Structure 1
Amino acid sequence: MKTKAYILIVLLAVSLPTKAQNPNDHAYNKLLQKHVNSFGEVNYQAIKTDPQVLQASLEGFTKTQPDKSWSQEERLVYWINAYNAFTIKLIIDHYPIKSIKDIKNPWDRKFIPIGKNLRSLNEIEHNILRNMKEPRIHFAIVCASKSCPKLWNKAYTASELDLQLTLATEAFLSDNTKNKLAANNIQISKIFKWFSEDFTTNGNLIDFLNLYAPIEISQKAKKSYMDYNWDLNE
């Protein structure tokens, strides 16, 4: 009898989700896998006509929220995924549109029901994610535009976070529609201009780029910024 009880306890422990798994549950992965392709293009039209998966994903974030017991990786994953999921909701709420900029004050709108008060995308990015001192978040959060990093069709997870952020950063720097890199001349995304302080906490910008770029960039390389394409990432 004791053995059977022990086995039952073990089975229950294995089947129960950990505190930080809910935000990245099957619903959010299902949304990404069903409606985001390998290029990061989002099928907003399909989501608009069949919004149940999106709604289920959003409920995963609103029902389970980070607390002090969560690790930094778990909190990062939660807020990265939440930012991307609620950006999709923002677009769907106004679709069809050509650009997120067609929405009035898109990043300052308080429409995200996480916590006691409604939050905005800017609050998540600037007050939470950037304060966690992980510059690679800028290649994981996606503002629904062609010049943004691509939206991966798999949720970020705490156990794979470092690898996922590295891959996202490397992919962004290797995409010549967003960055054109040569040893002595770089044309880079305006993300590096807007958030320059985030990339220079452990050296200069070239030092950061050389950690993830496909080539070695000279410290004396000429630098310029590419135009940002705000067309919808669909």
Structure 2
Amino acid sequence: MLPATVPSASEPFHYHGYAKVLRHVRSDGNVDFASVGRERQTLDAFVQSLASFSPHNRPDVFTSPEEQLAYWLNAYNALVLQQVVDGYPYLESVQQPWLGRFFWGRAWPVGGERLTLWALRHRVLRTEFADPRIHFALFEAARGGARLDGAPYQPEFLDAQLNEASRRFMGDARNVEVDGSTVRLSRLLETYREDFLAALPEGRRGNVLQFVWAFLPDTCEERPGCATRSDLDRACGPRLDRCTLVFTEEDWTLPDAAARKPRP
């Protein structure tokens, strides 16, 4: 992480403009990126405020762990949105044109440091906060990844928001599917398996299904086709150790609310 200049701020730090941008997130998790683009000035103003404020250079502003974590989650997601809008409508996947470059190829000034998305996730969030729920709150601009919420993360509601983000991810049949004695899980649950296992009580840390079970719904009334806790219990037994796990590749297509014409 390289140093960056810290511009003076014209007003106190807030999420008002960012909240306005997030109104373009649909209830199904897709994003109206065209409308976000029309809010570009508002989005850019919020990103510019990140250069002046962060928990690293202004601990007086972000005094609690909840304020700090909410800041970093919102910062990450806003930077992802800005980078998508930069490439829209030609960008169809964050995997193009170079694998992974979307997350490490660009750095922003954030509170006196220059940070890539990769550094923000791995060197800040994963290092400073031992909360694996962050992986379900970080927007990857991919249909198969965590969904973007329609409101900023707020310190006073953060625990409930992180729980809801986790339940939303587990309740999506693309991420958790029980098929006989086989459980198909999103590759994200394998990539960050150690983070999830470390959060479990002693005696349960060998099985990522224990973490999955904690956030599965009891019924699928709100998410038809999802897997439930009872489904997992019946398939895998009370210790959740009788199933074969298969990790599926994420769908990296852009979660665009607009219908796109097929490429020629």
The TM-score normalised by the length of structure 2 is 0.75
- CA deviation digits over 1:30-55, x for unaligned, max 9? 1101x211122111122224411211
Shift of 1:157: 0.7
SS class of match (1:207): helix
1:230 CA displacement: 0.5
CA drift of 1:74 comes to 1.1
Residue 129 of structure 1 is matched in structure 2 by 125
Root-mean-square deviation (CA, aligned residues, Å) is: 1.8
Q: Which ranges in structure 2 are unaligned for 5 or more consecutive residues?
A: 1-11, 218-228, 233-239, 257-264
Runs of 5+ consecutive residues of structure 1 not aligned to the other structure: 1-20
The alignment partner of 1:136 has SS state of helix
Letter in 2 for 1:224: V
User: Which residue in the other structure is 1:106 paired with?
Assistant: 102
Among 209, 215, 218, the alignment partner of 1:212 is 215
Cα offset, 1:148, TM superposition: 0.8
Change (3 A) 1:95 1:103: farther
Paired letter, 2:175: K
Q: How far, CA to CA, are the matches of 1:38 and 1:211 in structure 2?
A: 23
- Structure 1 position 182, deviation (Å): 6.0
By how many angstroms is 1:172 displaced? 0.7
Distance 1:185 1:71 in 2: 42
Q: TM-score, normalised by structure 1?
A: 0.84
1:226 to 241, 248, 255: 248
1:176 Cα deviation from its structure 2 partner? 0.6
58-67 vs 99-108, which moves further: 58-67
1:113 match: secondary structure: strand
Measured in 2, the distance between the counterparts of 1:71 and 1:59 equals: 23
Counterpart position of 1:74: 67
Q: Which amino acid aligns with 1:80?
A: L
For the 8 Å contact 2:52–2:112, the answer to whether it is kept is no
Please show how residues 77-88 of structure 1 align to structure 2 within 5 Å.
77-88=70-81
2:33 counterpart (30, 38, 44): 44
Corresponding residue SS for 1:38: coil
Q: Which structure's residues are more often strand, by fraction?
A: 2
Partner of 1:115: 111
Moved more, 180-189 or 116-125: 180-189
Runs of 4+ that moved beyond 4 A: none
* Letter in structure 1 aligned against 2:67: E
Instruction: Give the counterpart letter for 2:139 in structure 1.
Output: V
Match of 2:22 in 1: 32
**1:3 maps to which residue?**
none
Is the 2:184–2:248 Cα contact (8 Å) retained in structure 1? Answer: yes
Kept in 2: contact 1:179–1:226 (CA 8 A) = no
Secondary structure of residue in 2 paired with 1:224: strand
Q: Give identity over the alignment, percent.
A: 28
1:153-172, aligned counterparts within 5 Å? 153-172=150-169
